[in-house]
Amino acid sequence: MRDLLIKLQTVDRRWVYLAIAVACAIPFIAEAIGKPINLSVYPSRETQGVFDTINNIPRDANGNPTKVVLIDSTWDAGSMGENEGQAEAIIDHLFRERIPFIVTCIGNEKAPQFVNGVIERFTQDTIVDGKVVRKAKYPGRVYGKDWVNLGFSVPWGWQSIQQIMKDIHVQYKADYQGTPLEEIPLMQRVRNADDIYMIFAVTYSPSEDWVSFAHGIYGTPVAFGCAGIQSTTTYRFIPSGQMVGMLVSVRGSAEYDALLYPDDRSQRVNKGTQLIVPLAFGHLVIIFAIIMGNIGYFAARRRRS
């Protein structure tokens, strides 16, 4: 029996990879046959902080927001699995509450097409072979009034951030389509930090310059959407009040989806919600493998002693 336990620490790693693949596939198969597996999602404080900040945007006597939210979306295919759901969750919230927003893609020329894809899924019907397979959730939202995509810009880094907060019309002369900002209704009332309520920077590893040059100088609330492995370097900004919150990987977007639709699970459809169950199943396999490996280690240690 002890020899069998000792062998647990020498199991071929390919069996572990296979087990992870099977575990992650199970939720997708269950979804395909109409029996989805659901897990309870409990929002963390960092996710709740982002949600509450957006809900508290100042409004005029008619209930219209008096400022805009700026989304710096610089993710692309490399981090789509973690960042796409985060962008979906925030944009869904902004469209639902009719909060106008501006998109920038500082330092990544590939990013505009990815965030545009997210926005189009909310504002346009999805048509395949001439048939509408998914209706737009917010068909009444209008480009130039409800949102603007300013696209890629150089120089990137703190210089761009500093100029955006001083005068965004100096940093950007036109949107990503080439339309001059003076001709875009939303941009006619947005000039500098006084008109920006909050910054949400979403990418694999958001630039800490947003904390220094947006919140540090102007006091503008800042939140990040980042990869899980990068979150440990930015948690320190939350207790200090330099960031209002953060969406961490798939978990963050799934938690935000739960906050948006606490009573209607059928509405939770963003990328984070789709991936949180396969992620949990994969983690269970890894935890099980760690336990088995340690059992083998202690069995071998006991025999040696």
- Phi and psi at 25, nearest 5°, equal -75, -25
Residues 111 and 5: their CA atoms lie apart, in Å, by: 50
Read off the DSSP letter of residue 50: H
Residues 201 and 225: their CA atoms lie apart, in Å, by: 6
Of 240, 226, 236, the C-alpha closest to 81 is 226
Average pLDDT, the chain: 92
Cα 133 to Cα 28, 122, 125, 274: the distances in Å are: 20, 13, 8, 18
Instruction: Give tens-digit pLDDT for 184-213.
Output: 999 999 999 999 999 999 999 999 999 999
**Three-class DSSP category at 198:** strand
What's the pTM? 0.91
Looking at residue 179, its pLDDT comes to 95
Instruction: Give tens-digit pLDDT for 123-168.
Output: 988 777 778 777 889 999 999 999 999 998 776 688 999 999 999 9
CATH architecture of 45-269: 3-Layer(aba) Sandwich (3.40)
For residues 121 and 89, the answer to whether their CB atoms sit within 8 Å is: no
Of 42, 133, 135, 86, the C-alpha closest to 275 is 86
- Phi and psi at 59, nearest 5°, equal -130, 155
- Phi and psi at 125, nearest 5°, equal -65, 145
- Phi and psi at 147, nearest 5°, equal -155, 160
Looking at residue 233, its pLDDT comes to 93
For residues 89 and 256, the answer to whether their CB atoms sit within 8 Å is: yes
**Count of residues in the chain:** 305
- Enumerate the domain spans of the chain: 2-34+280-304, 45-269
For residues 89 and 257, the answer to whether their CB atoms sit within 8 Å is: yes
Instruction: Give tens-digit pLDDT for 48-96.
Output: 999 999 999 999 999 999 999 999 999 999 999 999 999 999 999 999 9
pLDDT band at 293 (very low <50, low <70, confident <90, very high): confident
| Mean pLDDT across 263-274 | 90
Looking at residue 6, its pLDDT comes to 73
Residues 68 and 99: their CA atoms lie apart, in Å, by: 7
Share of the chain above pLDDT 70, in %: 98
**Three-class DSSP category at 187:** helix
Alpha helices by DSSP H, the chain: 2-6, 13-32, 45-55, 80-96, 111-123, 158-166, 168-171, 209-210, 216-218, 249-260, 271-304
Residues 100 and 264: their CA atoms lie apart, in Å, by: 25
Of 168, 174, 179, 234, the C-alpha closest to 201 is 234
Q: What's the gap between Cα 220 and its chain centre?
A: 20
**Whether the predicted pLDDT of 39 surpasses 90:** no
